Structure 1
Amino acid sequence: MGRIIRIFSCSAQNLRKWSANPRIYVLSLLLIGFLGDTVLPIADFSSSVHVPATPWVFPYLALNQKVLLLLMLGIVLLFCDAPFIDAHQPYVIIRSGKRDWLLGQIIYIMLASALYFLFIALISVLMLLPNLTFSSEWGKVLGTLALTDAGNQFKIGLPISYQLQFTYTPIAAMAWSFFLNWLVGTFLGLLMFVLNMRFTREIGAVVAASLVFLQYFCFEANGFLLWHFSPVSWASLGNLDTTHTSALPSLIYAVSVLIGLNLMLILLAVLFFRKKNIDVLPPM
């Protein structure tokens, strides 16, 4: 029990530092401004037709390749200071031990990724106020936007997909979308953690950003087989095949590969950290 407390204490320390980190405030403001431009047109449409909207907007965010690009670049910004060794950390490592400290950093990446996408999901719901209603169905607003071109009149940039509504219930779409985004965010965070620990801190951010841009290249190239080699693309339910009738990767393939990649990165982090000298890194 004492070891578990030490591990989660190391994770909680990193989270507590958010309150004094200007980069977190900048990222939060950028997300609020960006989501405002993306979601508020749906709220305007809801207000104009006098029909409240349901809160199931989050799954549609990743359907837009530019939105997905910016959201995942936010993950790169969030974890760009990996492996999180500031002036205070050597003392924490001495008290907790290298292995427990490392496990704490891995759990921190997982928790921070979940909080990041939870914040996005929450803001996307708040943007719909006061014309908001809770229902287990997609609702008339999202249903109308999926079946008509009414969104063009209100400059709604999100692709409100009928195929998504036909394939998933709102709860299932929210759950799968959040889970996939969390897996991708964790993957990018662990990738930067491992690369920055093995090489220089800039390498991790460059490689992670390249993978984020790869999903946009796959969309522009319109090559279905390319999606199999673009993990960031799997955060979008629209890039996954649920009918087994196309060359797109399946939902099971995406989840399995992402879990495998994350486990492999955790193993590499353990192997690299055994041989690493503890060097204090300047804040970013």
Structure 2
Amino acid sequence: MEIYRIACLVAKSNFMRWKKDGRILLTFLLMIVLMIRYFSGLSSFGIKYHTKITPFLLSVVFADCDITNGLLKILVCFGWVCLLCDVPVRDPFLTYIVLRSGRKGWWLGENIYICASAFGYTVFLSVIPALILLPSVSLHEFWGSTITQILKSDEYQVLYLGNLVLPRRVISIIYPYGAQILGFLAVWLQFWFLGMVMYSINFCCKSNTLGIAAAVFLILLDPVVVYCGASMTTKWMYRFSPVNWSSIENWTIVGQTQPVSMTYAYGMYAIMIGIGMFWTRWRCIKEDIRVDERL
């Protein structure tokens, strides 16, 4: 149990840096502004026409589309890259942190930090839309009359949705709280996986550039796969695009013609996260520790 206590202290020290890092605050503020920009139309519609809407809208935030420009899912994923672009956290005191916590404790602490950050960011993205729509939120309806009425009218969609994409299949088949639970786990695993991609590559290259580039490539691959994988003969592309797996409308639970199953999405995320943890553990053992005599 001592190793877990040490690892938690390492993770806590990483979180403590957030208070002094303007990049973190700016990222969260930008995400709030984006959410207000995208969901204000639904809020205005509900207030104007006295309609209701569910607070469980994470599957709407991560709705897929073949248009990258303005797609909310892509923007919030970029926000995640901004939050974790510096993993593994390196500073002049890193050597002493590793020496005091041990290689295993430091490695485990970094992994806990990535996992906890992914969970917290997913919670943040789940709560903000509900707060924006609070005047018209209701727990007693399905998806709510706000969404159903907007989907029935092309004029309302132009006026109140803007670039916001509503996952029609998910809305027509799955209860909102069910979609929220399934989507929350998928989004959490997606962010955890992207964090491990940056962590693994940055660890090997001693630089953050390649890790960030790899994560951005995987994120931008999402709309490309949606566009190119529209036909039945090209749906196999979804199996090689991890960011697409966090969108429930791509799962077979909303239609047997959809490209990936829920089991495949969860299982592949878990496998790739495990591979990343194993790889970084091995690299941590090989890490050269040098004491900076200037400190």
- Aligned match for 1:211, one of 218, 234, 244: 218
Give the secondary-structure state (helix, strand or coil) at the position aligned to 1:242: helix
Letter in 1 for 2:57: V
Letter in 2 for 1:11: A
Against the structure 1 CA distance between its residues 243 and 50, is the aligned structure 2 distance closer, same or farther, given a 3 Å change threshold? closer
Q: 2:106 is matched with which residue?
A: 101
- Aligned match for 1:254, one of 244, 265, 270: 265
Q: 2:191 is matched with which residue?
A: 185
Please state if 1:58 is matched with 2:58: yes
Displacement of 1:243: 5.5
Further displaced range: 183-192 or 232-241: 232-241
Deviation readout 1:206-225 (Å, 9 max, x if unpaired): 11111111112112223422
Deviation readout 1:123-155 (Å, 9 max, x if unpaired): 111111323233363222223234443322324
Q: 1:69 is matched with which residue?
A: 74
- Runs of 5+ unmatched residues, structure 2: 66-70
Q: Is the 8 A contact 1:82 1:201 kept in 2?
A: yes
Please state if 1:194 is matched with 2:194: no
**In structure 2, what is the Cα distance between the partners aligned to 1:12 and 1:100?**
13
Against the structure 1 CA distance between its residues 235 and 274, is the aligned structure 2 distance closer, same or farther, given a 3 Å change threshold? same
Q: Is the 8 A contact 2:53 2:138 kept in 1?
A: yes
Q: Is the 8 A contact 1:62 1:236 kept in 2?
A: yes
- Aligned match for 2:242, one of 231, 244, 267: 231
Q: 1:270 is matched with which residue?
A: 281
Displacement of 1:260: 0.5
1:1-150 paired onto structure 2 within 5 Å: 1-65=1-65, 66-135=71-140, 137-149=142-154, 150=156
Q: Number of residue pairs matched? A: 280
Structure-2-length-normalised TM-score: 0.89
**In structure 2, what is the Cα distance between the partners aligned to 1:157 and 1:208?**
23
Displacement of 1:54: 2.1
Letter in 1 for 2:185: F
Q: Is the 8 A contact 1:233 1:239 kept in 2?
A: yes
Against the structure 1 CA distance between its residues 213 and 161, is the aligned structure 2 distance closer, same or farther, given a 3 Å change threshold? closer
Displacement of 1:11: 1.0
**In structure 1, what is the Cα distance between the partners aligned to 2:170 and 2:290?**
48
1:166-181 paired onto structure 2 within 5 Å: 166-181=172-187
